[in-house]
Amino acid sequence: MSRAAPEPVQVVKQRRDAALSALVDGLPYARFLGISFDRRGDELTGVLGFHEALIGNPELPALHGGATAAFLEVTAIVGLSWAMIWDDLERGMLDAATLTPETLPRLPKTIDFTVDYLRPGLPRDAYARARVNRSGRRYASVHVEAWQDNRARIFAQATGHFLMPPRDD
């Protein structure tokens, strides 16, 4: 039985990075907050680059709870959307070369989002990763954790429920 030759690595990377760019570029609010995403295979890490406008308590100083909540929610939505398009992308059913924020599948909508503030956010970069605990046809449940200096020392976490966009198939 003959097997197709593996795709050249740059083709794989270009496809995945193009799809991720289309997804993140479609979120003006992510740009406003200074959020970018690192990708290793299918694993995404949200990066919130520190800047003064994220401060909520100038005396401590500490990140604003609202900025932290927004970072967690953006990471959850991008993580869930990424998981949603990954299979179609890899099977060639979505063409990364022509993907734009306008032609991407619709994004999931947040139903509810519960944030747990564990310690003050320090005035420096923060990171977050989302885990999709369940993703059905209509609903999804996503957990997301954020940390700064130490991966094990989480400063905020959240769980959210999302309404999945309608699918044609």
Partner 1 sequence: MSDTGSDAAPEGARDATEDMAAGAKADVARRFIEQIPHAHALSMRVDQLGDGRAELSMPYDSRLVGDPRNGVIHGGAVSALLDTCGGTAVLSHPEGPAQTATISLRIDYMRAATPGQRLVARAECYHVTRSVAFVRATATDDDRGHPVATATGTFTADGGAE
Closest distance between partner 1 and the C-beta of residue 31, in Å?
Answer: 7
Please report, as a single letter, which amino acid is at residue 131. Answer: R
Question: Could you say whether residue 27 binds partner 1 (CB under 8 A)?
Answer: yes
Our finding on whether 55 is near partner 1 (CB under 8 A) is yes
Residue 64 burial by Cβ neighbours in a 10 Å radius (0-12, 13-18, 19+): middle
Q: Which positions from 129 through 148 interact with partner 1, judged by CB under 8 A?
A: none
Q: Is the Cβ–Cβ distance between 104 and 21 less than 8 Å? A: no
Contact assessment for residue 42 and residue 82, using Cβ atoms and an 8 Å cutoff = yes
Strands (E), 24-105: 35-40, 43-48, 55-57, 62-63
| Among 118, 123, 116, 127, residue whose Cα is nearest residue 150 | 127
Which of 14, 36, 114, 133 touches partner 1 by CB under 8 A?
Answer: 114
Q: Which of 45, 47, 50, 69 binds partner 1 (CB under 8 A)?
A: 69
Among 64, 83, 88, 122, binds partner 1 (CB under 8 A): 64
Per CB under 8 A, does 86 bind partner 1? no
Q: Which stretch binds partner 1 (CB under 8 A): 20-28, 88-96, 124-132, 139-147?
A: 20-28
For residue 112, state whether it binds partner 1 (rule: CB under 8 A).
yes
Pick from 43, 53, 93, 167: which binds partner 1 (CB under 8 A)? 53
Can you tell me which of 109, 124, 138, 151 binds partner 1, judged by CB under 8 A?
A: 109
How many degrees, rounded to 5, is the angle at CA 119 between CA 113 and CA 123? 100
From 5-13, 15-23, 103-111, 126-134, give the range in contact with partner 1 by CB under 8 A.
103-111
**CA-based Rg of the chain, rounded to a whole angstrom?**
17
